[in-house]
């Protein structure tokens, strides 16, 4: 057997802002109803950051909990990757702001921008450092304040999103080169820039404005199940596992109908699916680590379990990865 350095998740943390916005609250500002939102999306409520809470604050809160769970302190951290599409400023990267606020020493820190697929992308990028022995203690964070990108007159989008952050600590550990090793075992990342018009923000540096999220939801929906399922099959093949071996499926929490449709298509039983969309809504890059944190905290996910993560978002980008926890 060949000894292989693996990127192992050693701690998980999450943070949700205090303010909760229910579907009934939104029905007071746009023509919608709790019944429509629950039936079409599974969403019941979402959290919203306060005006004085930049996304880096959410990221730092989640990171502190992940470090505590891993038994590490900020001084140990030598790599920070933040997956976000709602960074505090155009630059610097939110990761460097997180580094400063945590009091982590000089190291590597940068953001990954792949919208809702950001966490899957960021974990795969961090693996490039950790599994090559270039980082000893990495923080991979998904953090978003999506509510700041909402057009509060567009009922087709403003009911779908929420704010939050989730983080994992990733450390190198030697494995035996088998699928029993703990760590990131395989992944598949995809992007198709020709589908930009389906989901984008109509602002940015070139426009001089932050902009608002625009989405042709039903078109995105059409691509989601097929695309994600293909990436899952590819990630499982990359890891050398069968999808049937997966203990827990942790999908991006955009819409209950999408995640259940994907699970059905790839043959994952309902009881293995972790869903938080009802309480968190779509928190973009934060949704997977937040869902992971929820299931670790409530005791469902245990050390050694085989996890399948997947996401799809603006770009379009999508991807999946297989992790032995
Ligand atoms: N309340 C009431 N009615 C609504 C609402 C609302 N909040 N939103 C839309 N409608 C109406 C529409 O106006 C339309 O009315 P019409 O028939 O009179 O024109 C009707 O409902 C149907 O609209 P659709 O858009 O076809 O509804 P659909 O069943 O597709 O559900 C939804 C919409 C929930 C957005 C769904 O398409 C979806 O979840 N899409 C995927 C979203 C996603 O996964 N995004 C990717 C990640 S996000 C990221 O990367 C940032």
Q: What's the confidence (pLDDT) of residue 2?
A: 83
Last residue of a domain, one of 122, 140, 175: 175
Together in a domain, 169 and 197: no
CB atoms within 10 A of CB 300: 14
Catalytic residue, candidates 23, 116, 158, 280 = 116
Catalytic residue, candidates 47, 137, 227, 252 = 252
Together in a domain, 109 and 146: yes
Together in a domain, 160 and 257: no
Together in a domain, 40 and 145: yes
Together in a domain, 85 and 101: yes
CA distance 237 to 253: 24
Does ligand 1 come within 6 angstroms of the Cβ of 199? Answer: yes
Last residue of a domain, one of 154, 175, 196: 175
Does ligand 1 come within 6 angstroms of the Cβ of 165? Answer: no
Q: Is 282 a catalytic residue?
A: yes
CA of 193 to the centre of ligand 1 (A): 22
The per-residue pLDDT for range 119-133, each reduced to its tens digit, is: 999 999 999 999 999
Together in a domain, 9 and 79: yes
Residues facing 187 on adjacent strands: 321
Together in a domain, 316 and 191: yes
Last residue of a domain, one of 175, 198, 213: 175
Together in a domain, 62 and 144: yes
CA distance 265 to 243: 11
CA of 232 to the centre of ligand 1 (A): 25
Q: Where residue 86 sits, what CATH number does that domain have?
A: 3.40.47.10
Full-prediction pTM beyond 0.95?
Answer: yes
Which residues span the domain enclosing 55?
4-175
Together in a domain, 48 and 137: yes
Query: Domains in the chain: how many in total?
Result: 2
Together in a domain, 244 and 146: no
The per-residue pLDDT for range 284-298, each reduced to its tens digit, is: 999 999 999 999 999
Together in a domain, 149 and 230: no
Q: How far is CA 78 from CA 106, 171, 291, in A?
A: 7, 10, 25
Together in a domain, 168 and 315: no
- Angle, vertex CA 82, rays to CA 222 and CA 290, nearest 5: 60
The per-residue pLDDT for range 134-184, each reduced to its tens digit, is: 999 999 999 999 999 999 999 999 999 999 999 999 999 999 999 999 999
């Amino acid at each position: 057997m060949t000894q292989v350095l693996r990127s192992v998740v050693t701690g998980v943390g999450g943070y949700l802002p205090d303010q909760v916005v229910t579907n009934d609250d939104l029905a007071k500002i746009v023509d919608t109803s709790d019944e429509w939102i629950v039936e079409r999306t599974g969403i019941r409520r979402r959290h919203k950051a306060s005006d004085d809470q930049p996304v880096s604050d959410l990221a730092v809160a989640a990171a502190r909990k992940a470090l505590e769970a891993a038994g590490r302190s900020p001084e140990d951290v030598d790599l920070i990757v933040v997956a976000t599409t709602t960074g505090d400023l155009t630059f610097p990267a939110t990761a460097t702001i997180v580094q400063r606020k945590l009091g982590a020493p000089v190291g590597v820190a940068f953001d990954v921008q792949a919208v809702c697929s950001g966490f899957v992308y960021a974990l795969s990028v961090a693996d490039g450092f950790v599994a090559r022995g270039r980082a000893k203690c990495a923080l991979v964070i998904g953090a978003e304040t999506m509510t700041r990108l909402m057009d509060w007159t567009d009922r087709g989008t403003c009911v779908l999103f929420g704010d939050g952050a989730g983080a994992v600590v990733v450390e190198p550990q030697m494995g035996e080169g088998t699928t029993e090793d703990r760590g990131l075992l395989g992944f598949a990342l995809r992007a198709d820039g020709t589908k930009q018009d389906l989901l984008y923000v109509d602002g940015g540096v070139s426009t001089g404005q932050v902009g608002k999220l625009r989405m042709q939801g039903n078109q995105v929906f059409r691509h989601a199940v097929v695309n994600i399922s293909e990436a899952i099959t590819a990630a499982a093949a990359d890891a050398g596992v069968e999808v049937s071996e997966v203990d827990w499926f942790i999908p991006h929490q955009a819409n209950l109908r999408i995640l259940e449709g994907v699970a059905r298509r790839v043959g994952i039983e309902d009881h293995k699916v972790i869903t938080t969309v009802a309480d968190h809504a779509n928190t973009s890059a934060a949704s997977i680590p937040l869902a992971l944190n929820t299931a670790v905290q409530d005791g469902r996910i245990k050390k050694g379990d085989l996890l399948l993560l997947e996401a799809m978002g603006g770009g379009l980008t999508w991807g999946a990865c297989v992790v032995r926890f």
